[in-house]
Amino acid sequence: MSVFKNPPCVLDSGKRDPTIEETLKAAGFDPNLCIQCGTCTASCPSGRWTAMRTREVMRKAAFSIEVVLSDPDIWLCTTCYQCYDRCPRDLQVTDAIIALRNLASARGFISDKHRKTVDLLHKTGHAVPINDRIRKIRKELGLPELPPTVYCYPEELEKLGKTLFQLPPRPEDHDEEEER
Amino acid sequence: MAQSYSLFLGCIMPNRYPAIESTTRFVLDKLGIEIKEMERAGCCPAPGVFRSFNKPDWMVAAARNLAIAEANGADLLTVCNGCFGTLFEVNHALKNDEELKKDVNARLADLGYHVEANQEVKHIAQVLGFDIGPYGIRDYLKRKVRLRGAIHYGCHFLRPFHLKQIDDPEDPTILEDYFEALGVELIDYRRKHACCGAGGGVRAGHIEVSLEMLGEKMAAITEVGAEAILDICPFCHLQFDTGQKSLNEKFGTNFNVPVIHISQLTAFAMGLDDIGLEYQTIAPDFKLEAVEL
């Protein structure tokens, strides 16, 4: 029988998936080296304004807790690399977050807003496509109206779109994550 | 032989701030650097969004851009921290991993390209700040500028440090030395080296968080009375320029600090009067003040 009337709050393990830990290791973040010092959290510009705590994300991921993949927290990282450069154990934190995002994306956890940037890339070859106002300004500045990028080569653009960034659909039981 | 570079345009510079492109071309021409066009190049692709969705695909798309520069036979030059982050990292990875290079080339072959990763990827701030340098640039200046400026480095120019090895990311001086040579009076401000909040897909996915980060920087910049923000990245440029308007609309603030790219300011000091500030969202009527040499 437990000595506790109310059992102490321990890490809620949730569902675990060992691929998460393997992904971290492959990305240059060996969970056994992390001393959970929190330098990453303290360095995080996004964490100043949100409930995202880098140390906590890395801890959950180190324990392979599956919910870390569907949690919008990993998408609040601006990839500023401050945690990465400051980690006293030289762990590649930012790259690990990117690897987690890759794993999340492969399972369809990508927000609609992010899916739109991929649509733009497929349609125009650019994440930020040109518009009529800019075409006019380009002419005024003495530049070619259209830069000679892949946008001017629709056949190649179509081929690229078919080859790259084909995103899996969102899992059926998962709604678009709520806005903060 | 004259120095030449393959100029990588990217997305935001040609498609949102064409004045950065025209001033970059003006500056490189004055420096006697030949520009080789990168026909068919596309998005770098952005290290925040696309690398997060599928890193192998991101590498292939970036390697395709590198291959276009290699076919030109001239090192790749970017004007943007994001493009620099992507292209530098992929070039570095391919250089140091033969297996990876083989895999990437296998996929590139279907698209009709081949990458060797035998060239360098450079940022315009590196070319101006180091290769030409604060002393070298004096020979090219027609005038100086009278301006109290606040520098914003952005993230991917200096970080991650073990890859870039350009300057100490915690306390760099490369831009300070350079802008001072152009006559700028520099002012420090709180959180100078913090992120603008645009990267990592945060601006695309969580605009409110992105604006909060920007707001903190803008408050500090306004507090010290900077006349302009000096940056080296079109994405930070976009965030500062349109972000101030969004902040003003959303929070009733009154931010109105023009943002000037390193190419624009250099072009002005080299004698170009129209550096395209009138096309920007914030402070389109701002005029730079010249000091004759």
Position A180 confidence tier, pLDDT thresholds 50, 70, 90: very low
pLDDT higher than 60, residue A179? no
What CA–CA distance (Å, rounded) separates A119 from A126? 10
Q: What pLDDT, in 10s, does the model give residues A21-31? A: 999 999 999 99
Q: What pLDDT, in 10s, does the model give residues B142-153? A: 999 999 999 999
pLDDT, mean of residues B221-248: 97
Question: Are A127 and B45 in contact (CB < 8 Å)?
Answer: yes
Task: Tell me where in chain B the CATH 3.40.50.11810 domain(s) lie.
Answer: 133-292
What is residue A10's predicted lDDT score, i.e. its pLDDT?
64
What CA–CA distance (Å, rounded) separates B22 from B197? 26
pLDDT higher than 90, residue B2? no
CA gyration radius, chain A: 21
For chain A, helix (H) and strand (E) counts, in that order, are: 9, 0
In sign, the C-alpha dihedral spanning B200, B201, B206, B207 is positive
3-state secondary structure (DSSP) of residue B151:
strand
Percent of chain B with pLDDT over 90: 99
Question: Are A48 and B49 in contact (CB < 8 Å)?
Answer: no
**What CATH number labels A19-106?**
1.10.1060.10
Sequence-distant (6+) residues with CB within 8 A of A76 are A46, A47, A50, A52, B200, B202, B206, B209
Mutate which of B49, B167, B235 to test chain A, going by most A C-beta atoms within 10 A?
B49
Mean residue pLDDT of chain B comes to 96
Instruction: Name the one residue in this structure whose structure tokens are 């695909």.
Output: B57
Chain B touched by A179 (CB under 8 Å): yes
Angle at which helix A112-124 crosses helix A154-163, to 10 degrees, equals 140
Q: What pLDDT, in 10s, does the model give residues B16-59? A: 999 999 999 999 999 999 999 999 999 999 999 999 999 999 99
What is residue A4's predicted lDDT score, i.e. its pLDDT?
66
CA dihedral B10, A179, A94, B171 (to 10 degrees): 80
What CA–CA distance (Å, rounded) separates B260 from B282? 11
**Amino acid, single-letter form, for residue B229:** I
**What CATH number labels B133-292?**
3.40.50.11810
* Contact present, B63 and B84 (Cβ < 8 Å): no
Q: What pLDDT, in 10s, does the model give residues A44-73? A: 999 999 999 999 999 999 999 999 999 999
- The CATH architecture that domain B4-122 belongs to is Up-down Bundle (1.20)
Of A79, A134, A179, the CB nearest to B200: A79
Determine which helix (DSSP H) or strand (DSSP E) holds B49, and give its type and residue range. Answer: helix B49-53
What is residue A172's predicted lDDT score, i.e. its pLDDT?
80
pLDDT, mean of residues B117-129: 97
Q: What pLDDT, in 10s, does the model give residues A74-86? A: 999 999 999 999 9
The domains of chain A are located at 19-106, 112-163
What CA–CA distance (Å, rounded) separates B180 from B149? 10
Nearest alpha-carbon partner for B127 in B33, B265, B230: B33
CB atoms within 10 A of CB B164: 20
ipTM of this predicted complex? 0.94
What is residue A176's predicted lDDT score, i.e. its pLDDT?
59
What CA–CA distance (Å, rounded) separates B155 from A85? 11
Task: Tell me where in chain B the CATH 1.20.1050.140 domain(s) lie.
Answer: 4-122
What CA–CA distance (Å, rounded) separates A144 from B131? 29
Percent of chain B with pLDDT over 70: 100
